[in-house]
Amino acid sequence: MKPTVQLIPTRFLKIVTLGFSLGLCASFTSIALAGQTVQIAAENQQHLGIESIVTTRASTYPSRTYTGQAVVALDQSYLITAPLSGLVTKIIHFHGAAKKGDVIAQIQSPALLTAQKDFLNTLSDFNNAKYNLARAEKLMKTGVVSTKNFQSAKAEYNKAMQIKRQQQQDLALLGMAPQAIQTLVKTQQLQPAKLQITAPADGELFDLQVKAGERLNANQAIISLGSTDPIVIEVPVPVEDSKDLTIGQAVTVKTSRSSVTGEIELIPNVADPMTQTVLVHIDAPNANHALIPGQRVQAQFNIAIAPSEVAYKVPRNAVAQLAGQTVVFLKKMTEIQAIPIEILNIDGDSLYFKTTSDFGSAPEIVIKSTSAIKAVFEAEGGE
């Protein structure tokens, strides 16, 4: 059993100077050293406004906050070019968000007429091969045509069909509208030589490089598009801090209005010689496009706590200074113990700390009126 010392009238004067009543202080006993205890009756705890909260051990804690910037990943950036030479007749979509398949611009291209002519010739060959196959199949059944001749007709039909499919896909890839291709097949007549330049993916359009009325060469750049889901966050991290990070580590990315959890994708082995930082890349989900390229964000890495270490998360007002040490007060019924701690981080209203003491199951940490408890320890320490 821990020794206690009954308070005497000379001690009452110290407590009175701190704002406590003489009758209340008569029930206090203490040893005023961090790591020791003080006894406070339940009714006196209520009178002092002492409150506690049950806490559990923490497995991770957030790092300090770093400032980063949202960017488009290199493997999600597209340079949209002209598939054929021609004249830009209309620019429909040149900035902001775009969905896959959205029409960005239209080009009048004589080269598309040549591609249509080639397709119509192929279509004619296909129809002829189809007729020959049907005829050969009918004659084979009557014995007029041999099986060998039938197989030859079938091979010609398959070859013509593959060429037809390829050229029809080529027209679509060149930017010919699907409805125009269907009309071309149905009527076998040339359609207007209009190419539709479409977005290859969902993303943000930027860096328009052409104007309406401009003549373009094949493969000339028109505009760029960056897919923003997921989005990459670049965070400059001091070299020493980066040694605590690992690939795949969880990261909380915050803006003034939103918060998402991403993970570390890249930790470069090259540092900026001027700032002595490494540019850590974070992959973050961005389905609602809350993050946009160029936006400044705050990032906190979730640091894992070793299983051999004892750490807890409590409200930040639980911390106190006692006898030159940083402590929290562990409450067990009427006994309150000052426990020295090592602060890992204070994040908003939360305090993360390590300690050499395992608090056991469902420990109660004082979160209100810690100054009153501290006063008792300090009063007894002065005697």
CATH of residue 362: 2.40.420.20
Report the pLDDT value the prediction gives residue 147, as an integer from 0 to 100. Answer: 81
Domain count, the chain: 3
Q: Where are the beta strands (DSSP E) in 215-341?
A: 215-216, 221-226, 231-238, 250-254, 259-266, 277-284, 296-304, 310-315, 320-322, 325-332, 335-340
Same domain membership, residue 345 and residue 298: no
Domain end (from 289, 304, 319): 304
Say whether both 332 and 360 belong to one domain. Answer: yes
Give pLDDT, residue 97. 85
Residues 278, 337 within the same domain: no
Same domain (yes/no): 298, 238: yes
> Dihedral of the CA atoms 357, 358, 363, 367 (nearest 10)?
40
Give the pLDDT score at 140: 81
Both 23 and 44 in one domain: the answer is: yes
Backbone angles phi, psi at 74, to 5 degrees: -60, -35
295 and 317, same domain (yes or no): no
Q: Of 148, 168, 192, which one is at a domain's C-terminal end?
A: 192
Show which of 276, 304, 332 is a domain's final residue. Answer: 304
Verify that 317 and 354 share a domain, yes or no.
Answer: yes
Tell me whether residue 18 is in a domain. Answer: yes
> Same domain, yes or no, for 318 and 257?
no
| pLDDT value for 298 | 96
Side chain identity at 211, as an amino acid letter?
K
Counting as low any pLDDT under 50, the low residues of the chain are 1-32, 382-383
User: Over the stretch 48-77, which tens digit does the pLDDT of each residue have?
Assistant: 899 999 998 899 999 999 999 999 888 888
Confidence at residue 28, expressed as pLDDT on a 0 to 100 scale: 39
Question: Does some domain include residue 213?
Answer: no
Is position 83 within any domain?
no
pLDDT reported for residue 357: 82
Side-chain-facing half-sphere of 381: CA atoms under 13 Å: 16
Residue 355, domain member (yes or no): yes
State the residue range of the domain holding 340. Answer: 9-59+308-381
Residue 140 lies in a domain: yes
Structural domain includes residue 214: no
Q: What is the pLDDT of residue 54?
A: 94
